[in-house]
């Protein structure tokens, strides 16, 4: 994406050198290291990275929840240091937790939220009804938040974040902990919101498929720094390449084949990573056939964002998934331990 | 769900303008107060339920006090009921920080921190809310004691409730400050809570007169603001609005209120 040439008037988020350091057990930990960001009006950007990478800490700085150690950012036209109230009025934020108070009723919370943002009584009621309808909360509108299912709670979180029609919506791990059906349902709502209003959306996730399918732009974060920033397709093309595997009857065949066309033999299988692997595959099969080596099976797989992450860091995001269910950094103090563990 | 409209195709100008408007401290405080009070309105039984403890003291401790003092029931109640009112104020507001602690852990507190609300209003609105159950409970305790011979003086009761409310705002604010300091460590909140509450209660002469206690207890009671509050409530509920003890109680309640709000607002401003 040609971000450098973007007209500043269309910028929804600009951050320069955003840094968050803190002391933990006598050591200085850099949770976020000089992050530069630029998000245009109307974009849907996913912040992808393992737990403890600094995604949430960055989000918390952009949403005025944490004061950065150094660096600056302008969010929705307001400086996060000089005009935090202006930022807060213009953005919606859905954190990792449950936004609704557990003893509060759904509709009451929406009404309170409207008043928090300075909406008039009539406007608040109309807007609450609208959100209850569009986020399918009608059946639980008069129930206490604590009696809601995970998916219903999350839809209420989003409704609360949208009460004042923000220009920019931050979503921190929106679908973590939801079952697949609720995840899909939540995403339908987010996609519909964007279709209907053009709201800029900036979200963090550690679900690869989510970032891949839904975001127009993916920023990969690791160890407190943004290490890649592009469309998912561009990242995959430039960093990962297609995966082609060829199977042979014997290991000798596999070794001979690898010597001719490249790739890494492993037993009777050869794996080749290459751009345009789909077009190369028939050519390789013909070439090996001509040389008298029989290919018994062939697969071609397009790269995933996990391959991208692997290419960038030498680690797989999926390995991280085993302990990924615990939520990410709640506070800088938590960030330190998770960061150190990651 | 895989199809996404490209950003360029979205009619951005059709999006209704953001509708949030700047608000002031008073508006924000009222908003927070209303939000905090709604569960009480929706479920008034919770207010009555927390009356169990003071009523148990009244019903089970009261008769013992009558027996021990050798006085009549009406006279003992006149002395004991004001102490129970202070107990209601003390216990009701001391644990109120636990609600905030819970909201900090679930995420709904974070949501209010991202909203354009004054940080002070987040604290003051909450502390003011605690006055509502306190006043209702205090009134019920007094009304329950009337059939047993407690002599009700209405102006005195109203003045007594006002002083209690002022104290309650301050003590509730301190409880919120403690919750903010104990973020993610509820055990510490409850440990401080339990460690402070009973000494404060006993060293105020709320349940038993301290007259026969050792000198160090008198000294401790002299620096316990609750002693002055209990003294003032006894005078006020007896209808003696001009008693010297009232001055001490008003000063103790006001000081608790000011210190509580200052400490609480400072803690809330640092919250993230």
Give the C-alpha separation, B81 to B138, whole Å: 9
DSSP letter (8 states) at residue A314:
S
Local confidence band at A319 (pLDDT 50, 70, 90 cut-offs):
low
Residue A7 has pLDDT above 70, yes or no: no
Domain with residue A118: its CATH number is: 3.40.50.300
Residue A308 included in any domain? no
Residue A322: CB atoms within 10 Å: 7
Residue predicted with more confidence, A318 or A197: A197
Give the C-alpha separation, B239 to A318, whole Å: 73
Residue A313 included in any domain? no
**CB contact B14 to A (< 8 Å):** yes
Same domain membership, residue A213 and residue A136: yes
Q: Identify whether the C-beta of residue A257 lies closer than 8 Å to the C-beta of residue A265.
A: yes
Give the residue from B9, B12, B19 with the most A CB atoms within 10 Å of its CB, the best one to mutate: B19
**CB contact B270 to A (< 8 Å):** no
Domains contained in chain A, number: 2
> For position B18, what pLDDT does the model report?
53
Residue predicted with more confidence, A318 or A328: A318
> For position A175, what pLDDT does the model report?
85
Residue A307 included in any domain? no
Same domain membership, residue A161 and residue A121: yes
Residue A4 has pLDDT above 90, yes or no: no
Residue A310 included in any domain? no
Same domain membership, residue A36 and residue A62: yes
Least confident of A91-100, A222-231, A278-287, A315-324: A315-324
CB < 8 Å from B in window 222-261 of A: none
**Closest Cα of chain A to B93: distance in Å?**
18
**Cβ within 8 Å, pair B116-A99:** no
Q: Which residues of B touch A194 (CB under 8 A)?
A: 4-5, 10
**CB contact A91 to B (< 8 Å):** yes
Local confidence band at A23 (pLDDT 50, 70, 90 cut-offs):
confident
Which tens digit of pLDDT belongs to each residue from A25-55?
888 888 999 999 999 999 999 998 888 889 9
Give the residue from A6, A43, A103, A154 with the most B CB atoms within 10 Å of its CB, the best one to mutate: A103
**Among all residues of chain A, which has the CA nearest to that of B108?**
A99
> For position A6, what pLDDT does the model report?
45
Domain with residue A272: its CATH number is: 3.30.70
**Cβ within 8 Å, pair A194-B43:** no
> For position B17, what pLDDT does the model report?
54
User: For residue B228, what are its two tokens?
Assistant: 């002055």
Same domain membership, residue A128 and residue A36: yes
Which tens digit of pLDDT belongs to each residue from A142-189?
999 999 999 999 999 999 999 999 999 999 999 888 888 888 888 888
Same domain membership, residue A292 and residue A257: yes
> For position B70, what pLDDT does the model report?
81
**CB contact B185 to A (< 8 Å):** no
Same domain membership, residue A122 and residue A49: yes
Same domain membership, residue A248 and residue A228: no
Same domain membership, residue A223 and residue A295: no
- Give whole-number Cα distances, B12 to A150, A196, B101, in Å: 32, 9, 40
Q: List the domain range (segments joined by +) for residue A118.
A: 3-236+318-341
Same domain membership, residue A213 and residue A113: yes
Q: Identify whether the C-beta of residue A47 lies closer than 8 Å to the C-beta of residue A53.
A: no
Same domain membership, residue A285 and residue A231: no
Give the one of B18, B108, B184 whose C-beta lies nearest to A98's C-beta: B108
Which tens digit of pLDDT belongs to each residue from B15-48?
455 578 888 899 999 999 999 999 988 888 887 8
Give the C-alpha separation, B233 to B86, whole Å: 8
> For position A320, what pLDDT does the model report?
52
Q: Which residues of B touch A42 (CB under 8 A)?
A: 7-8, 10, 12
Local confidence band at B12 (pLDDT 50, 70, 90 cut-offs):
very low
**Which strand ranges, in their side-by-side order, compose the sheet holding A70-75?**
A27-40, A11-24, A70-75, A78-79
pTM, two decimals, is 0.83
């Amino acid at each position: 994406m040609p971000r450098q040439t973007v007209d500043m008037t269309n910028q929804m988020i600009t951050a320069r050198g955003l840094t968050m350091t803190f002391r933990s057990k006598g050591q200085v930990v850099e949770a976020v290291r000089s992050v530069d960001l630029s998000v245009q009006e109307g974009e849907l950007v996913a912040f992808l990275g393992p737990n403890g990478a600094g995604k949430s800490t960055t989000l918390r700085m952009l949403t005025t929840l944490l004061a950065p150690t150094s660096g600056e950012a302008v969010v929705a036209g307001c400086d996060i240091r000089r005009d935090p109230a202006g930022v807060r009025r213009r953005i919606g934020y859905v954190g990792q937790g449950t936004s609704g108070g557990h003893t509060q009723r759904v509709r009451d919370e929406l009404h309170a939220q409207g008043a928090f943002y300075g909406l008039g009584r009539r406007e608040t009621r109309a807007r609450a009804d609208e959100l209850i309808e569009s986020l399918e909360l009608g059946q639980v509108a008069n129930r206490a938040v604590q009696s809601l299912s995970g998916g219903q709670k999350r839809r209420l979180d989003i409704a609360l974040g949208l009460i004042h029609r923000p220009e920019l919506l931050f979503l921190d791990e929106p679908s973590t902990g939801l079952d697949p059906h609720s995840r899909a349902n939540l995403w339908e709502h987010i996609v519909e919101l964007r279709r209907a209003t053009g709201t800029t959306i900036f979200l963090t996730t550690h679900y690869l498929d989510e970032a891949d399918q839904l975001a127009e732009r993916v920023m990969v974060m690791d160890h407190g720094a943004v290490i890649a920033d592009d469309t998912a397709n561009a990242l995959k093309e430039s960093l990962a390449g297609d995966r082609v595997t060829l199977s042979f009857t014997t290991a000798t065949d596999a070794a001979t084949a690898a010597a001719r066309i490249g790739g890494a033999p492993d037993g009777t299988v050869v794996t080749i990573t290459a751009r345009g692997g789909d077009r190369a595959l028939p050519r390789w099969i013909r070439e090996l056939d001509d040389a008298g080596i029989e290919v018994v099976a062939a697969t071609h797989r397009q790269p995933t964002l996990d391959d991208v992450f692997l290419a960038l860091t030498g680690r797989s995001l999926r390995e991280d998934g085993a302990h990924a269910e615990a939520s990410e950094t709640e506070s800088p103090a938590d960030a330190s331990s998770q960061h150190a563990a990651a | 769900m895989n199809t996404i409209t490209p950003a360029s195709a979205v009619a951005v100008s059709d999006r209704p303008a953001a509708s949030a408007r700047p608000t002031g401290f008073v508006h924000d405080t009222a908003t927070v107060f209303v939000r905090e009070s709604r569960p009480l309105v929706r479920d008034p039984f919770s207010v009555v339920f927390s009356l169990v403890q003071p009523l148990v003291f009244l019903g089970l401790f009261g008769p013992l006090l009558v027996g021990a003092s050798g006085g009549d029931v009406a006279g003992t109640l006149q002395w004991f009921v004001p102490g129970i009112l202070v107990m209601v104020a003390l216990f009701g507001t001391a644990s109120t920080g636990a609600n905030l602690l819970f909201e900090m852990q679930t995420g709904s507190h974070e949501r209010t921190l991202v909203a354009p609300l004054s940080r002070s209003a987040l604290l003051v609105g909450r502390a003011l809310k605690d006055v509502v159950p306190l006043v209702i409970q205090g009134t019920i305790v007094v009304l329950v004691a009337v059939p047993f011979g407690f002599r009700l003086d209405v102006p005195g009761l109203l003045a007594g409730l006002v002083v209690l409310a002022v104290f309650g705002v301050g003590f509730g604010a301190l409880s919120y400050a403690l919750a903010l300091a104990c973020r993610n460590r509820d055990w510490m909140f409850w440990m401080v809570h339990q460690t402070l509450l009973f000494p404060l209660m006993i060293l105020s002469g709320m349940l038993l007169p301290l007259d026969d206690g050792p000198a160090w207890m008198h000294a401790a009671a002299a620096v316990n603001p609750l002693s002055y509050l209990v003294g003032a409530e006894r005078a006020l509920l007896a209808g003696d609005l001009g008693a010297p003890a009232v001055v001490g109680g008003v000063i103790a309640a006001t000081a608790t209120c000011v210190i509580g709000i200052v400490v609480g607002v400072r803690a809330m401003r640092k919250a993230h």
